Amino acid sequence: MKVLVACEESGTVREAFRKLGHDAWSCDLVASRDASPYHYMQDVLEVLSLGWDLLIAHPPCTYLSNSGARWLHDTRYPNRMGDREKAVDFFMKLRNASVDKIAIENPVGHLSTAYRKPDQVVQPWMFGDDASKGTCLWLKNLPLLVPTNIISPTKIVTSKGKSFDKWWYETCKLPLKERAKVRSKTFQGIADAMAEQWGGKVE
């Protein structure tokens, strides 16, 4: 299958599909973290029409997630509403791409009302990764992902009695930019499940 992984700089989903023999490519405005030759460094809207069988997209959630909503009415960021509408518009361009199979992921947030409720919400811990991060999936012509290895995420309880996922707590120590990058990387278990269940091994 010809697979385009949109808005991916880590190469995680691209490589999961390539390992199974698919002609998978990633695309992001920035360079690929693994310096792969199978990466378009450009606006994904420019490569959407290159004849893909499957599009998997991870559009930015800065203006769409529930966690970002608290900034919407902050006067220090006057155009936050406009930015959110642009983010919805970008999501819809991906959703309406002329590709047979499409999966778009984003955290729980504004898209559930601006577009519709997701087909599925998955968690890394359903696919063997020690972390909680509710991830919505909007699907076209694809089955729901079936959990592959359900585990219990490790918790850290602070001296004040607050409970956090170990994964989340540990990333808090990172500088802001690096933290965002680490937290937005697709988890390996979810990437592998996408490749196995939506692609399968090419014989």
- Interaction between residue 16 and ligand SAM (CB under 6 A): no
d(CA 57, CA 79): 25
CB burial readout 61-91, b (16+ within 10 A) else e:
bebbbeebeeeeeeeeeeebeeebeebbebb
Among 4, 14, 17, 28, binds ligand SAM (CB under 6 A): 28
- Interaction between residue 135 and ligand SAM (CB under 6 A): no
Please tell me the count of residues contacting ligand SAM according to CB under 6 A. 17
- Interaction between residue 9 and ligand SAM (CB under 6 A): yes
- Tell me whether residue 31 or residue 202 sits nearer to ligand SAM (CB atom): 31
- Tell me whether residue 85 or residue 156 sits nearer to ligand SAM (CB atom): 85
Q: Which two tokens stand for residue 180?
A: 């965002």
CB 191 within 8 A of CB 26: no
d(CA 44, CA 78): 27
- Interaction between residue 65 and ligand SAM (CB under 6 A): no
Cα-flanking dihedrals φ and ψ of residue 125, to 5°?
Answer: -70, -10
- Interaction between residue 129 and ligand SAM (CB under 6 A): no
- Interaction between residue 43 and ligand SAM (CB under 6 A): yes
The binding site for ligand SAM (CB under 6 A) comprises 7-10, 12, 27-30, 43-44, 58, 60-61, 184-186
